[in-house]
Amino acid sequence: MSLLRTVAVFTFIVGVSSSESSNCSYLALWNHLRLTTSNDFLATVRPVKNWTKPTEVWIDLMLYGILDVDEKTQTIVGNIWTKVIWNNEFLTWNPMLFCEIDLITVPRSLLWIPDLVIQEDASDTGSLQMSPFVSLVPAGLLYTTFRQRLTFTCQLNLSLFPFDSQTCNITFSSMVHSARSMILKALKNDTQLNNFTDRVMKTRGEWELKSIKTWHYYSAEKKWPESNVLFLVKIVRRPMLYLINFIIPLLYFIILDLASFFIDEAGGEKLSFKVTVLLSISVLLLILKDMLPSTEDNLPLIASYCVGIFAMVGISVLETMLVSFLISLDNEQDKDANSSGDAGVDIQLEVKHDEVTDDVNSENCSPPLNRHGDRTLLRRIQEELKALRRETRARGEGRRKPGCFRRIAHVIDCLFFILYFLAVVIFLLFMYVKWIEAYIQNEKDER
């Protein structure tokens, strides 16, 4: 059985070889183009007949998604497909003679391939996926596509975070060829590129693609100028998440802090409330630290916003401490005075009580009071009243001094509140104007 099959396969192969002359098989074309592994020439030499003619390489970048933007490492991850087209002067045929074959695919290993590299690429090679084949059309044009999870570096300017937009470069160049032997160009013009990207862009997360521009230029850093193709990708952040997650809570915290001035001083609730607010802000600061890189020379506005609010709440906590200290000083003296005064009154009352009971007793036991007894009683009452008045005066004097502290505390509190309120309003206005200014500038740049 298996023998029979082998024979059948063998006769089939012989049939194919014999029908070579029919021109409709790929084999005829391959023989015509001399595409065989023994023909090293095609794989090693730049495919031009006159060496002075540079090979033109057309590049098309298809951006299918922006997956991630890492502010810390200043990198962007994109899902891109790159289409590369170039010309091979040795691989042409007339489709009329070959049964109208107008496209063949050739293994990469057989051909010379442009050695393109993306200058900003920071990804590992594992993320690159190449087709093992290259397509070839009769005019000698070859094209190949590779897809890549491209991690590319981009100098992010976060000074307007989270209302920022970033412009990033994706620069294609050759690893070894200078502009004398290889010239890179963009396949699509800007209009086509934007139209295409708009249609194919799959993931639209935190970032929105604003535009892609492209041009080619020569860089003359080396001995021979090098040809480059630059894709300028402009992306804009959607700020809503940061607005509701970060900026508005901070705003509420500072409003809460302002409102806390109306809490009663007594009981120390005000202080603990303010410290709670301060702690909440510091939690937000921690989150911010995770989001932003530590670039000293270009402090983002949001960092100034956070630090400003933190500092203001911190100062208001200190002020509350001062005020409560002053009031506690006051209370202490008050208490001292109170305790002594109370003792005096108690004694007085006791004395008085004794007197009254005495009187009652005497009234019960003896006949109605005579005038002498009345007078002594009145005098005693008078003396007691005097003593009482002295006592109260002394207490009043004792109280005046701590009352002074309380008043100072009150004045400080009022003054501070006014200043603090003004400072908060001016600060918020300043931040608002800065952000709006930047935002308008951004919009203007786009046009």
Asked whether position 18 contacts ligand NAG by CB under 6 A, the answer is: no
Asked whether position 27 contacts ligand NAG by CB under 6 A, the answer is: no
Write out the binding residues for ligand NAG, residues 193-232 only, by CB under 6 A: 195, 230
Cα separations in angstroms, 266 against 145, 200, 324, 401, 417: 75, 65, 8, 19, 18
Q: Which amino acid is at 264?
A: D
CB atoms within 10 A of CB 152: 21
Contact indicator for 226, 173 with CB cutoff of 8 Å:
yes
Q: Which amino acid is at 404?
A: C
> Please, which residues have CB within 8 angstroms of residue 77's CB and are 6 or more apart in sequence?
66, 67, 68, 69, 70, 123, 149, 150, 151
Q: Which of 50, 125, 339, 370 binds ligand NAG (CB under 6 A)?
A: 50
Helix (H, G, I), strand (E, B) or coil at 312: helix
- Give the binding range for ligand NAG (CB under 6 A) out of 47-55, 253-261, 319-327, 346-354: 47-55
Q: Which amino acid is at 439?
A: Y
- Give the binding range for ligand NAG (CB under 6 A) out of 57-65, 74-82, 128-136, 190-198: 190-198
The 340-359 contact track toward ligand NAG, x by CB under 6 A, reads --------------------
Q: Which of 38, 44, 125, 191 binds ligand NAG (CB under 6 A)?
A: 191
Contact indicator for 87, 140 with CB cutoff of 8 Å:
yes
Closer CB to ligand NAG, 2 or 52, in the complex: 52
- Which residue has tokens 């003619």? 53
Contact indicator for 233, 170 with CB cutoff of 8 Å:
yes
Largest alpha-carbon pair distance within the chain? 161
Distance, in Å, from the CA atom of 242 to the CA atom of 249, rounded to the nearest integer, reads 10
> Please, which residues have CB within 8 angstroms of residue 155's CB and are 6 or more apart in sequence?
74
Distance, in Å, from the CA atom of 69 to the CA atom of 76, rounded to the nearest integer, reads 4
Asked whether position 23 contacts ligand NAG by CB under 6 A, the answer is: yes
Asked whether position 73 contacts ligand NAG by CB under 6 A, the answer is: no
Provide, rounded to whole angstroms, the least separation between the CB of residue 166 and ligand NAG.
8
Helix (H, G, I), strand (E, B) or coil at 433: helix
Asked whether position 189 contacts ligand NAG by CB under 6 A, the answer is: yes
Asked whether position 298 contacts ligand NAG by CB under 6 A, the answer is: yes
Contact indicator for 116, 231 with CB cutoff of 8 Å:
no
Provide, rounded to whole angstroms, the least separation between the CB of residue 18 and ligand NAG.
15
- Which residue has tokens 């005829």? 28
β-pair partners for 171: 230
Write out the binding residues for ligand NAG, residues 256-275 only, by CB under 6 A: none
Number of residues that bind ligand NAG (CB under 6 A): 20
Q: Which of 52, 125, 294, 339 binds ligand NAG (CB under 6 A)?
A: 52
Provide, rounded to whole angstroms, the least separation between the CB of residue 292 and ligand NAG.
14
Closer CB to ligand NAG, 105 or 298, in the complex: 298
Write out the binding residues for ligand NAG, residues 119-158 only, by CB under 6 A: 154-155, 157
Closer CB to ligand NAG, 50 or 339, in the complex: 50
Asked whether position 97 contacts ligand NAG by CB under 6 A, the answer is: yes
Asked whether position 19 contacts ligand NAG by CB under 6 A, the answer is: no
- Give the binding range for ligand NAG (CB under 6 A) out of 186-194, 260-268, 364-372, 385-393: 186-194
* Cis ω for the linkage preceding 225 (within 30 of 0): no
Closer CB to ligand NAG, 97 or 411, in the complex: 97
Closer CB to ligand NAG, 154 or 424, in the complex: 154
> Please, which residues have CB within 8 angstroms of residue 23's CB and are 6 or more apart in sequence?
97, 98, 99
Write out the binding residues for ligand NAG, residues 395-414 only, by CB under 6 A: none
Distance, in Å, from the CA atom of 132 to the CA atom of 124, rounded to the nearest integer, reads 19
Closer CB to ligand NAG, 168 or 317, in the complex: 168
Binding site for ligand NAG (CB under 6 A): 23, 50, 52-53, 97, 154-155, 157, 159-160, 168-169, 189-192, 195, 230, 298, 438
